[in-house]
């Protein structure tokens, strides 16, 4: 039925019900003479008109009544009560009388008949229209507001493939009760038993506000059942309207390893970014692109997306444009190794804030190509930093790595030397130069997770270098938010360290990913391949004597790193092409670890 026909039908039904209610009320209280009186006809006319007016105001003609609930009943109550009050006012003004008993009876009949006409379809559907037998019997973890919403949508949607048959919840006051006709069959610890008793075929975790450790605890219970488990979207996605409550997603490794988000200092960040010109190098990369997404929330006047790869820069530009941002986007296809181009870009754009995320980060590849690591990670950083200094940039934030601590690899050594460049620049420039160190980010290009996923898709095995290999992990959005926060906290010269939480064994990560993909370890398998050149068994964010114990901001520390003069590292920048790969590698690691007594400087003199 079209909206117009539906509207006319509902208005016709309501008009008939209103007039019937008025006349029945008058007949019950008085007599047949009163039924034909002027006051009852005037009351009937006033009640019909006012009912339609208030029905329009409270959207009674726009609601889908097969899904009627308490909210619809409240709207009916408000519309009818106000129409009765309007009719009473008319009686007083026009007839100088108030037939309160008639109006009371009319009000009760009005609610009964209007409400009954609306809820009749809901009652019929719930009573006689049975769900498809093909639906999967589903256990809902969480009997709170989200859980009941999930159950209602499963019951009401003919398109849903899931049928709620039980809840589990740790709230003892809900045990042995029914919600939406679905029993609360136990607590979270009882998931395996409930699955067996109720012949469950699917599990949905319906607690969007769960803390990460609780997600892991619940998922471990679900894993014991070998039943497919999904989870509600993140609360922020539900609130923003990106997804609805019935759009379940598979549990992801980020749910198990991520941490609780930190509340940002919105005022501080806004002061440093809003209305300013911001430049991001490596804007097409995993971290750089996420920094761009986060920055646009603070409405900078202009955002310069600078990167070497045209496709990745195009992708992030198109993505940001679709978000209807007010920020002007400028794209620069540039190589940070090109000093003249960096100077040209900075002279033209005059950025107030720079987030320097461009770098070579792949450890084994940089072991084989140390000269490229020097050119990109060190000389490229120096080019960008000097251009920022010469063109009045206020704050320069370099993205560093936990591999810069006690580096044993070319990648780590060049990132540490890049930190030295930034530290030295801060001493000689009015620009505030800072670095931010953090460990691995989940899902970034070149990280283990995309590799593991590809290996699982091909049937395995998943390759792990060593059973004791551990790493720190952080989600890309969290790392990017904290980098932006660190930029707002910058006073100059600091090396900020993001609290990475507890380190995770890579083999544990691999096992979780295999289970999340719906396989067992026996099906996929794990193969140990041995440590690669330049790798360490574990990473650290600071040496023991380099960290201030207190946090300058939640999850952000400041490091106590030694002062460095340009002469300490300038030799390798000027003479790296004359060294063999082995000599260059050793030189970089020696400089990064402050071992200046080696052959390096005399070799380059």
In angstroms, the CA 232 to CA 252 distance is: 11
482 and 335 fall within a common domain:
yes
Q: What is the mean pLDDT of residues 502-527?
A: 79
**Domain for residue 97, yes or no?**
yes
415 and 324 fall within a common domain:
yes
Domain ranges, residue 99: 3-128
Q: What is the percent of the chain where pLDDT is above 90? A: 25
236 and 317 fall within a common domain:
no
Instruction: Give the pairing type, strands 302-307 and 328-333.
Output: parallel
Torsions phi, psi of 280, nearest 5?
-120, 120
pLDDT in tens, 82-131: 988 998 998 888 888 888 888 888 888 888 888 777 777 666 655 555 55
160 and 119 fall within a common domain:
no
CA dihedral sign of residues 387, 389, 391, 393: positive
Check residue 122 and give its pLDDT. Answer: 63
Confidence of residue 162 (pLDDT cuts 50, 70, 90): confident
The residue from 128, 156, 177 where one domain ends is 128
User: Of 403, 415, 536, 555, which residue is the catalytic one?
Assistant: 403
Q: In the predicted model, is pLDDT for residue 605 greater than 50? A: no
Check residue 255 and give its pLDDT. Answer: 65
**Domain for residue 24, yes or no?**
yes
Q: What is the percent of the chain where pLDDT is above 70? A: 82
**Domain for residue 390, yes or no?**
yes
**Range from 101-110, 354-363, 407-416 carrying the lowest mean pLDDT:** 101-110
Helix ranges (DSSP H) in 129-232: 145-156, 191-197, 212-223
Biggest alpha carbon–alpha carbon distance for the chain: 121
CATH code for the domain of 572? 3.40.50.720
pLDDT in tens, 523-582: 888 888 887 766 667 666 555 566 666 677 777 878 767 777 777 777 777 777 778 888
312 and 395 fall within a common domain:
yes
**Domain for residue 120, yes or no?**
yes
Residues contacting 300, CB < 8 A, separation 6+: 273, 274, 275, 276, 277, 278, 327, 353
Check residue 496 and give its pLDDT. Answer: 85
**For helices 38-57 and 100-128, what crossing angle results, to 10°?**
50
Confidence of residue 2 (pLDDT cuts 50, 70, 90): low
pLDDT in tens, 494-503: 888 877 667 7
218 and 344 fall within a common domain:
no
236 and 280 fall within a common domain:
no
The residue from 94, 128, 162 where one domain ends is 128
**Domain for residue 531, yes or no?**
no
In angstroms, the CA 45 to CA 15 distance is: 9
Q: In the predicted model, is pLDDT for residue 340 greater than 90? A: yes
Check residue 600 and give its pLDDT. Answer: 42
The residue from 219, 251, 283 where one domain ends is 251
Check residue 351 and give its pLDDT. Answer: 96
Q: In the predicted model, is pLDDT for residue 598 greater than 90? A: no
187 and 244 fall within a common domain:
yes
276 and 383 fall within a common domain:
yes
Q: What is the mean pLDDT of residues 503-524?
A: 78
In this structure, what token pair is assigned to residue 429?
A: 């420039």
Count: domains in the chain:
3
Residues contacting 469, CB < 8 A, separation 6+: 505, 506, 507, 531, 535, 537, 538
Instruction: Look up 212 and say whether it is catalytic.
Output: no
CA dihedral sign of residues 558, 486, 404, 575: negative
In angstroms, the CA 396 to CA 422 distance is: 9
**Range from 63-72, 156-165, 446-455 carrying the lowest mean pLDDT:** 63-72
pLDDT in tens, 3-38: 677 678 778 888 888 887 877 777 777 665 565 678
152 and 64 fall within a common domain:
no
586 and 483 fall within a common domain:
yes
Torsions phi, psi of 303, nearest 5?
-130, 120
SS3 state at 459: coil
Check residue 550 and give its pLDDT. Answer: 67
**Domain for residue 291, yes or no?**
yes
**Domain for residue 462, yes or no?**
no
Q: What is the mean pLDDT of residues 474-478?
A: 78
Check residue 573 and give its pLDDT. Answer: 78
164 and 304 fall within a common domain:
no
Check residue 242 and give its pLDDT. Answer: 45
SS3 state at 498: strand
**Range from 270-279, 366-375, 462-471 carrying the lowest mean pLDDT:** 462-471
**Domain for residue 570, yes or no?**
yes
pLDDT in tens, 417-432: 999 999 999 999 999 9
**Rounded mean pLDDT of the chain?**
81
Check residue 490 and give its pLDDT. Answer: 87
Prior bond to 461 cis, omega within 30?
Answer: yes
User: What is the pTM assigned to this prediction?
Assistant: 0.64
Helix ranges (DSSP H) in 280-409: 286-296, 310-321, 339-349, 363-368, 370-373, 380-390
């Amino acid at each position: 039925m079209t909206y117009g026909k539906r509207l006319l039908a509902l208005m016709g039904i309501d008009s008939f019900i209103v007039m019937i209610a008025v006349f029945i009320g008058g007949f019950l209280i008085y007599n047949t003479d009163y039924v034909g009186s002027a006051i009852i006809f005037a009351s009937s006319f006033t009640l019909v008109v006012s009912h339609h007016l208030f029905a329009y105001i409270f959207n009674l003609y726009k609601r889908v009544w097969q899904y009627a609930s308490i909210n619809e009943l409240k709207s009916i109550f408000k519309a009818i009560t106000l129409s009765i009050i309007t009719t009473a006012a008319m009686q007083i003004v026009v007839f100088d009388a108030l037939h309160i008993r008639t109006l009371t009876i009319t009000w009760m009949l009005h609610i009964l008949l209007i409400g009954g006409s609306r809820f009749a379809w809901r009652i019929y559907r719930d009573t006689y229209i049975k769900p498809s037998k093909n639906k999967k019997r589903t256990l809902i973890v969480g009997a709170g507001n989200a859980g009941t919403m999930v159950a209602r949508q499963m019951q009401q949607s003919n398109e849903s493939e899931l049928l709620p048959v039980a809840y589990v919840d740790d709230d003892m006051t809900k045990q042995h009760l029914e919600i939406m006709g679905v029993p609360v069959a136990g607590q979270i610890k009882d998931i395996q038993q409930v699955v067996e008793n109720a012949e469950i075929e699917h599990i949905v975790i319906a607690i969007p506000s769960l803390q990460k450790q609780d997600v892991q605890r619940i998922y471990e219970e679900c894993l014991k059942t070998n039943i497919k488990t999904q989870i509600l979207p993140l609360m922020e996605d539900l609130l923003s309207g990106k997804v609805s409550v019935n759009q379940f997603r598979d549990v992801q490794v980020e749910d198990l390893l991520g941490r609780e988000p930190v509340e940002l200092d919105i005022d501080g960040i806004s002061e440093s970014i809003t209305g300013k010109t911001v430049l991001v190098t490596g804007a097409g990369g995993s971290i750089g692109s996420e920094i761009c997404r986060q920055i646009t929330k603070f409405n900078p006047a202009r955002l310069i997306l600078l990167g070497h790869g045209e496709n990745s820069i195009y992708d992030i530009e198109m993505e940001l444009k679709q978000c209807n941002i007010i920020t002007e986007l400028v794209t620069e296809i540039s190589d940070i190794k090109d000093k003249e181009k960096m100077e040209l870009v900075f002279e033209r754009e005059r950025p107030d804030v720079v987030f320097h995320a461009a770098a070579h980060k792949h450890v084994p590849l940089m072991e084989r190509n140390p000269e490229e690591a020097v050119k990109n990670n060190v000389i490229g950083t120096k080019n960008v930093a000097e251009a920022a200094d010469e063109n009045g940039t206020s704050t320069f934030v370099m993205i560093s790595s936990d591999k810069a601590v006690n580096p044993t690899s070319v990648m780590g050594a060049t990132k540490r030397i890049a930190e030295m460049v930034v530290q030295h620049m801060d001493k000689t420039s009015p620009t505030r130069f800072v670095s931010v160190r953090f460990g691995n980010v989940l899902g970034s290009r070149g990280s283990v997770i995309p590799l593991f996923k590809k290996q699982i898709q091909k049937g395995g095995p998943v390759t792990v270098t060593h059973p004791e290999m551990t790493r720190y992990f952080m989600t890309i959005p969290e790392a990017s938010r904290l980098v932006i926060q660190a930029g707002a906290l910058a006073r100059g010269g600091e090396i900020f360290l993001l609290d990475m939480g507890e380190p995770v064994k890579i083999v544990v990560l691999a096992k979780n990913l295999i289970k999340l993909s719906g396989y067992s370890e026996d099906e996929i398998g794990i193969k140990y391949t041995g440590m690669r050149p330049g790798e360490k068994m574990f990473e650290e964010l600071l040496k023991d004597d380099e960290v201030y114990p207190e946090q300058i901001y939640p999850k952000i520390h400041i490091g106590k790193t030694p002062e460095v003069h340009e002469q300490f590292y300038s030799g390798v920048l000027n003479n790296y092409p004359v060294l063999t790969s082995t000599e260059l590698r050793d030189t970089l690691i020696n400089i990064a670890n402050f071992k200046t007594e080696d052959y390096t400087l005399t070799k380059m003199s």
